[in-house]
Structure 1
Amino acid sequence: MRALDYLHISLADQCLYGFADGQLLLRLPVSTALNGPGELSGSGCTPRGRHCVRAKIGEGLPLRAVLRGRRWTGEVWSPTLAAQFPGRDWILTRIIWLSGCEMGRNRLGQVDTFRRYIYLHGTPDTEPMGVPRSHGCVRLHNADLLSLFPLVPVQCVVQIDEASCPVWAAASL
């Protein structure tokens, strides 16, 4: 599959749609914020608007590698490890770190997506997709993130929107 140049994350559909040259190539279920949409730092909400991929972290790490502070802990997620740390917000496998592009909406000040550490990241495969459950990030199942990661270049445009899949793309599904 060729590199993607545009991602549309639909809060309504709880899906990520990946495009190259205007053609829909990929659709993956996601889980966005339990608190809904919002840009304010500390809100636990998923920020809306135009973003870009600022950094990609975790190339070459094993599936379900545990990341804390954007570094591999040396651990690989398992039910046993999860039982040792109940309630932990697991960031697994890879991180695609977003930066806002809209001054005052999702960039700088109290609404800065990058400074809020908003990522696309893996989560335990026991976590449901298609329902909002995150603390603001966009969660994906690990295998889906692993397939998405090499297709998304740094600076790729990412639109996070309350709308469903764009009408022009729905026909491609």
Structure 2
Amino acid sequence: MRALDLLHISLADQCLYGFADGQLLLRLPVSTALNGPGELNGSGCTPRGLHRVRAKIGEGLPLGAVLRGRRWTGELWSAELAVRFPERDWILSRILWLSGCEPGRNRLGVVDTFRRYIYLHGTPDSEPMGEPRSHGCIRLRNADLVELFPRVPFNCAVRIEEAACPDWAAAPLN
């Protein structure tokens, strides 16, 4: 599996597109913020612009591992656990923690993506993909995230945009 050098997340398509050397290698459904795009701290929105993967958390954890405060609780997600803790925003399996690259847009001050704890993370399989439902993060299926995780190096570029993915990137994968 080739390492990826760019993740493009389309808010319009609710898809993550993975590229290496300009070639589309991966397409995965995601779920971004129910509140839409936006950068302000406390907005519950998904930040736009250029980001980097600043931290990778959860390597080697089992599928469905429950993470709170970026640490494994020792729990594995289950429907029974969800009933016991209905208020939790489930962060499962792995975390790719983003840091903004554009001062004033998604870096520093009240728009700092890293300080907002914006991640790509796993979510229960009962949660729909392809529609905005998160609190600002980018949710993925656990199996998709576990497949993606080793292909994403530290400092991998992550572009989050409102526009649909360009036609050339939406073409069928080889």
Q: Considering the TM-score relative to the shorter chain, is it more than 0.5?
A: yes
Post-superposition offset of 1:172 = 4.5
C-alpha separation between the residues in 1 aligned to 2:167 and 2:46? Answer: 22
Distance 2:87 2:131 in 1: 18
Q: Secondary structure at the match of 1:83?
A: helix
- The CA deviation string for residues 80-114 of structure 1, in whole angstroms up to 9 with x for no partner, is 11110013100000000000000000000000000
Q: Which amino acid aligns with 1:34?
A: L
**In structure 1, how many angstroms separate the alpha carbons of the residues matched to 2:66 and 2:171?**
38
1:148 aligns with 2:152: no
TM-score of the superposition, structure 1-length normalised?
0.98
Counterpart in the other structure of 1:171? 171
Aligned mates of 1:38, 1:108 — CA distance in 2? 15
Residue 36 (structure 2) aligns with: 36
- The alpha carbon displacement at 1:169 in A equals 1.5
More off after superposition, 79-88 vs 100-109: 79-88
Does residue 62 (structure 1) correspond to residue 84 (structure 2)? The answer is no
C-alpha root-mean-square deviation of aligned residues, in Å?
A: 0.8
| Deviation of the 1:168 alpha carbon | 2.9
Look up the match of 1:26: 26
**Alignment-derived partner of residue 71 in structure 1:** 71
Number of the residue aligned with 1:132: 132
Task: Work out the CA distance in 1 between the residues paired with 2:163 and 2:172.
Answer: 17
Q: In the alignment, which residue of structure 2 is the partner of 1:118? A: 118
Runs of 5+ unmatched residues, structure 2 = none
Amino acid at match of 1:82: A
What number of residue pairs does the alignment pair up?
A: 173
Q: Is the 8 A contact 1:58 1:94 kept in 2?
A: yes
Deviation per CA, 1:35-88, whole angstroms, max 9, x where unpaired?
A: 000000000000000000000000000000000000000000001111100131
Q: Deviation above 2 Å: which 4+ runs of structure 1?
A: 170-173
Structure 1: 5+ residue runs without aligned partners?
none
TM-score normalised per structure 2: 0.98
Identity rate of aligned residues, in percent? 83
